[in-house]
Amino acid sequence: MTDRVLAIDGGNSKTAVLLVDADGKVLAQVRGPGAPPQTVGMKRGLDVFEALAREAAAQAGLSPDEPIAAHTSAYLAGADLPREEEDLTRAISERGWSRTTFVGNDTFALLRAGTAAAGGVAVVCGAGINAVGVARDGRTHRFPALGAISGDWGGGGQLGNDALWHAVRAEDGRGRPTLLLPALLEHYGETSILNVVEKIHFEELELDPHALCPLVFEVAAQGDSVALHQVDRLIEEIVLLATVSLRKLNLVDEPVDVVLGGGVLTNTGDVVVGPVSRQIAEAAPLARVRLVDVPPVVGAALLGLDHIGASPSAELRLRSAYSDHLPAATLDVAASG
């Protein structure tokens, strides 16, 4: 069987699947909804992954009765603890997509997507926030990333929820005046934030904190002190995640890549990335801070190619070939319900 790698980047909001051969040639790529097994359930999440994997196999012209790949390289949001990775590895292996399977947290795929070096640190700030580090000798550092109970703060969900919190308190007098209040009223088409809260409470209105997150940056750009404080706190948190990982792995004085990714980081221009880069440089002068320039699923595929012992030319081929114009299918697969 040709050595193929089935790569899965399973995020909270979307799932990307990439099928490549041992030479780094892209055979198929498919996108679908987010289906973290810890959120939607193991069977339902894996059913979504399988539908996408089978679609990728069909795109590549594979027979339905042959294994999709030699190795499955799955990097998933919510695989935050070794026990979760082990459970997911076992469950995916039982699906029979490939001879071998490896499951890791999706931040490791971001790191591999952002660097060809043997180690580095990655910080992702999208729906949530997380960081991982890998030293050249294979040592790793990671955070539990379980939310407030594991000390986390940040991500689009956090900023969106906090925006509503500040708007409510600005209207009822418990908090400082902030332009977040009129921004959220306009967003919801309401005249009182209390009406918004009541409708959310009675499930007449959906609270989508990720949709509110961009408002924080828009209001901060107008000089609003409350929104600026939220942005400054996010910058501080990203820098903390990166520098703690560098210190734990004794990489502070090493020339090492610090890879930044996730929608909040990549969609805010230099507002966050600029200060983050400068503050990391103060703590680790030799660090190279960079935004990831290919999707994390490419990192998952590269880790899979590493696993099967592909040549360095495979990485070069995959990186050079991967671009937005590659044919891609979006499969409509229900992740819930």
Q: Which of 76, 87, 92, 85 is nearest to 35 (CA)?
A: 76
Distance CA 62, CA 197 (A): 51
CATH 3.30.420.40 fits 4-114+294-324, yes or no: yes
List pLDDT tens digits, range 80-122: 999 999 999 999 999 999 999 999 999 999 999 999 877 899 9
Chain position carrying tokens 């050249």: 136
Under the banding of pLDDT at 50, 70 and 90, the label for residue 12 is: confident
List pLDDT tens digits, range 29-59: 999 999 999 889 999 999 999 999 999 999 9
DSSP state of 130: E
Please give the single-letter amino acid code of residue 175: G
3-state helix, strand, coil in the chain (%, to 5): 45, 20, 35
The domain segmentation of the chain, as residue ranges, is 4-114+294-324
User: What is the number of other CB atoms lying within 10 angstroms of the CB of residue 187?
Assistant: 18
List pLDDT tens digits, range 276-294: 999 999 999 999 999 998 9
Q: What pLDDT sits at residue 246?
A: 98
pLDDT of 27 higher than 70: yes
List pLDDT tens digits, range 154-187: 999 999 999 999 999 999 999 999 999 999 999 9
Hey, which residues does 133 pair with through a beta bridge? 121, 141
User: What is the number of other CB atoms lying within 10 angstroms of the CB of residue 204?
Assistant: 8
DSSP H helical ranges for the chain: 37-40, 42-59, 82-93, 106-114, 156-172, 180-188, 193-201, 209-220, 225-248, 263-266, 270-283, 296-307, 312-321
